[in-house]
Amino acid sequence: PIVKDFDNRSKILENSKVEVEDLCLVSFRCYSDMIRKSIDEIDLIEHIPEYVGREHPILSKCRVGVGKGKFKNPRGIAFDKIRHKLYICDSSNCRIQVFNTVGKFLHSFGNNQLQELHCICVSKDFVFITEAKNCVTKFTLQGMFKKSFDGGAVKFGRIYGVDCSDEFLYICDLRYQRIYILDLNLNYIKQFGSGEIKYPADISRHSDRIYILSRSVSSIYCYDKYCTLQKEIELSDGEKPMTLTVFMVIDPKGNFLVSDESNQEIRIFS
């Protein structure tokens, strides 16, 4: 079944509201993904309307540059809930920068090892990063390189969104329109979604479900833990059409936060 209008409950956060004089705004990808990866640790919300006042995500402001705490094209964000650290993909500087939850720079890693970073996730022991060169790379939480995997015989198309559990890594392939499952040692296990999903850009797990965001058709595909498609949810609020959705998170209450780059907004659906 397709949920046509998602109960018509949608709120909008506009990234234009976080502009500050003499500071550059983190790219929209970083802005939306910051909400994605830190949401469980923010004392957020009992009800959707309370989102509207939260126009300033953590670390929404930064300076352009190559020094500590400066960024060039920041993208994915991961939050280590155990140690309360933020891992940020500083894409064009080809590194990961690590901060505490009040924005203090701690350390960086990945220089000379990473190229044009896309997305990132953190398990209890490791950091996983997808790169534009179509590989996923594994580091320790302290930044020690462990392994890189380019798909081998599977041959990645264009990998992007990534998420992990205590056992598995889930990776979106935009070009071949499917999801890969690896173990945490980056060994290929299986794939799913071929012929069922269109242009998967991001992936999030919630309870025993796997949710996959389409980049171009404004839909979320819901799979069960056995990777069987349960339903397709069409994102619509009866206002502006969404034609470029890139990042998604499901908050603890089950609300979907979706970045709408076509309208430069973050939309929240319940």
C-alpha closest to that of 37 among 82, 87, 99, 98: 87
Cα distances from 211 to residues 21, 151, 217, in angstroms, run: 38, 22, 15
Please count the other Cβ atoms lying within 10 Å of the Cβ belonging to residue 122: 22
Q: Which two tokens stand for residue 213?
A: 């965001």
Strand partners, 95: 90
Is it the case that residue 257 has pLDDT exceeding 50? yes
Task: Summarize the confidence of residues 219-241 as an average pLDDT.
Answer: 85
Q: What is the identity of the amino acid at 240?
A: K
Weakest-pLDDT range from 44-58, 63-77, 160-174, 201-215: 44-58
Rg (CA), the chain: 17
Q: Work out the burial of residue 58: count CB atoms within 10 Å of its CB; fewer than 13 is exposed, 13-18 middle, 19 or more buried.
A: middle
% of the chain surpassing 90 pLDDT: 40
Asked whether 5 and 238 are in contact (CB, 8 A), the reply is yes
Q: Which of 29-38, 150-159, 175-184 has the lowest mean pLDDT?
A: 29-38
Lowest-pLDDT choice from 74-83, 154-163, 175-184, 250-259: 250-259
Q: Helix-strand-coil percent breakdown of the chain, rounded to 5?
A: 10, 45, 40
Q: What is the mean pLDDT of the chain?
A: 76
- The predicted-structure confidence for 91-127, as pLDDT tens digits, reads as follows 889 999 998 877 789 999 998 789 888 899 999 999 9
pLDDT greater than 90 at residue 145? yes
Distance set, CA 10 to CA 56, 109, 151, 269, 270 (Å): 19, 38, 38, 5, 7
